[in-house]
Amino acid sequence: MQIVDSLADPILNPTLIIGEFEWREPITTLTDSLTACVFIFAFIVFARYKGKKSESFIYFKAFFLCFAIGMLCAAWFGHGLAAYVTPRWKAIGWVINSTANLFLGLATLKEITPLIKPHISRLIKIIFISQVSIFILFMLIPSTSFFGLAQLCSVVSLIGMMLPMHIFNFSKTKSSGSKLFIIAIGMGVLPGIIFNAQLSINRWFNYHDISHVVMATIFFVLFLAARKFSFLKQHN
């Protein structure tokens, strides 16, 4: 096995060359995959649940499955297999993760629908689907596709759309699910700060890796929130 430092950026994980296989950013690949494992675990828990379900259950289940696939694509197409694919492959993970956010938004909307007028619910649904669709369209166009667009889509979806809905729901119902969701979104600023400030320990555990571990923790909190909403025997 041979270890080769990154020429693009010295803070990135070195490349491991195992025989003829070139593994780029191995720790970043694994920490990204760790985040995917949280979603795989959540999806399995939802898939095995046989009790009474809320109307938002199917959307949360789709969110976990979609995000698991998206994170695995991000891990390997964006990092591990970068020697074998073009940068355009990164857009696959961005698009799938943005689609997952759409499912999460629809699940949130289902939870607050009984508290708002039908025409307002329909308007929110149209706005949410439209904004995610526009972001995905730009991600699919080579000249406008970049990671910052995927980040902005998440910010608009989570903070601009879903956070106000959960604050509203908590103010009306004191829902423990919305409380956990608000906590998760509040924690969500940490990976952004770590990533954009490039806060790193060393090249083997850099800002990519740290932000992924923090994200895995945040998404577990999100799973707890989704379970509160979806498993009606625990609903409060």
Contact (CB, 8 A) for 228 and 221: no
Indicate if the pLDDT at residue 28 is higher than 80: yes
Write the DSSP string, 8-45. S-TTSPPEEEETTEEE-SHHHHHHHHHHHHHHHHHHHH
Q: What is the DSSP letter of 74?
A: H
Which pLDDT belongs to residue 236? 42
Q: How far is CA 15 from CA 6, 10, 26, 182, 203, in A?
A: 7, 11, 7, 38, 11
Which pLDDT belongs to residue 196? 86
Which pLDDT belongs to residue 9? 85
Amino acid at 221: V
> 200 φ, ψ to 5°?
-135, 155
Structure tokens at 93: 């993970």
Sheet holding 21-23, edge to edge: 2-4, 15-18, 21-23
Please state the rounded mean pLDDT for residues 158-166: 94
Which pLDDT belongs to residue 103? 97
The 3-class SS string of 157-188 reads HHHHHHHHHHHHHHHHHCCHHHHHHHHHHHHC
Residue 14 CB partners (closer than 8 Å, separation 6+):
3, 4, 5, 6, 203, 204
Please state the rounded mean pLDDT for residues 101-128: 95
Amino acid at 13: N
Which pLDDT belongs to residue 235? 42
- The domains of the chain are located at 28-234
Please state the rounded mean pLDDT for residues 136-142: 94
Please state the rounded mean pLDDT for residues 133-148: 92
Helix (H) or strand (E) holding 2: strand 2-4
Q: Which residues pair with 231 in a beta bridge?
A: 53
Contact (CB, 8 A) for 98 and 132: yes
Indicate if the pLDDT at residue 231 is higher than 90: yes
Indicate if the pLDDT at residue 217 is higher than 90: yes
Fold of 28-234: Rhopdopsin 7-helix transmembrane proteins (1.20.1070)
pLDDT band with cut points at 50, 70 and 90 for residue 22: very high
Indicate if the pLDDT at residue 83 is higher than 70: yes
pLDDT band with cut points at 50, 70 and 90 for residue 233: low
Mean pLDDT of all residues belonging to the chain: 93
pLDDT band with cut points at 50, 70 and 90 for residue 234: very low
